[in-house]
Copies of this chain bind each other. A is one copy, B any other.
Amino acid sequence: MKLNEHYFELTESYLFSDIARRVEAFAARHPEQKIIRMGIGDVTRPLPPVVTAALEEAAREMGKRESFRGYGPEQGYPFLRQAVADYYADRGTVVSPEEIFIGDGAKSDLGNILDLFSPDCTVLIPDPVYPVYVDTNIMAGRSIIYLEATGQNGFLPLPDSRVKADILYICSPNNPTGAVYDRRALQTFIDYARENGAVILYDAAYEAFIADPELPRSIYELEGARECAIEFCSFSKTAGFTGLRCGYTVLPGELIFDGHSLQKMWLRRQTTKFNGVSYPVQRAAAAALSPEGRGALEENLSYYRENARILADMLKNRGVFYTGGRHSPYLWMRCERGMGSWQYFDWLLENAGIVGTPGAGFGKNGENYFRLTAFGSREDTIEAAGRMLLL
């Protein structure tokens, strides 16, 4: 039996285990010190009452013979696909329910979508980046070209027309840099994709953090995107679904390559290798998009946005270069005193008892950068900002 040899080309990431080890050692040396964790990418606010009520109601439904539901449609129930279409429509973006596929999270769909493309495709991925884009392509044996995101381009690199790629990744608002592409920049990607017959995988997991109506929340706000872009979205960060698991992927009918519809191929992939998202979770997601749910999501967003503002003010005050912090839960700061990212990690832990994420964990261009997140509690965020101001 022959294994998929590409798995052995993956580099083992020790990022989070290294962080845990260093924090543990510090805690052992300083048992009195309260450690504040500003590195987590997970949410801390609980599910809104309208969401838990929908979960409970669906549980009761499943317990009665007359309302029990077995296998659902692999692409999601019509009630949720319609709710997502309405969520787009309210921002003036037309996406039909048939183009929306409910999945168990953007991470799964971003990995699984690659099934549709040949291993011979060349992939363009920004550096630094959410490591999953890189690893899923290495697993399939694809060539990767990196798009250099740096302080010089504000971590918003554009594709170079001399570079030929078949699959382009965009994450906006970006993880880890918090940077957000404007309309003009996104149009450059779309023009590149259409000229080169390439497909854009657009990760919009953080779209709800965008407050400025001038900034695009969906790639479909741009001309020509329906012919070249797949959009990935999630209930994780706004509705607190990191533990519930629900997201959605949009494949417009116009995505035709060599005469083949990507939407039809994805439907075939999902009906063959997936059995739909848990029914109570789909009800919970629909509740999150109801008028009452939208109010609760706005509250969560305001809370995290205010945390981000507190951290951004602190960085401004210290005169540190950073991206993000607005329209994003992430702050990507240049390490102070010319330190490397692991050096800064140790220094910040030692001198302020604060844990962040070393930028080097996201790619070589992260080497002198450091990620803070706005997902902590208000009290912790204020205390962390206060401690950093005193450094």
Contact = CB atoms under 8 A, between A and B. Distances in A.
Contacts of A274: 104, 107-108, 111
A280 B55 contact: yes
A135 to B, nearest CB: 5
A27 interface: no
A279 interface: yes
Contact of A120 (B2, B46, B244): B2
Interface stretch (A67-75, A312-320, A340-348): A67-75
Interface residues of A, number: 74
B1 A104 contact: no
Contacts of A117: 1-4
A55 B59 contact: yes
Which one of A55, A117, A260 has the greatest number of beta carbons of chain B within 10 Å?
A55
A17 interface: no
A257 B1 contact: yes
B71 A42 contact: yes
Contact of A273 (B10, B108, B167): B108
A199 interface: yes
A337 interface: no
Interface of A: 1-5, 7-8, 10, 42-49, 51-52, 55-56, 59-60, 62-65, 67-72, 104-105, 107-108, 111-112, 115-118, 120-121, 132, 135-136, 139, 166-167, 197-199, 240, 242-245, 257-258, 260, 265, 268-269, 272-281
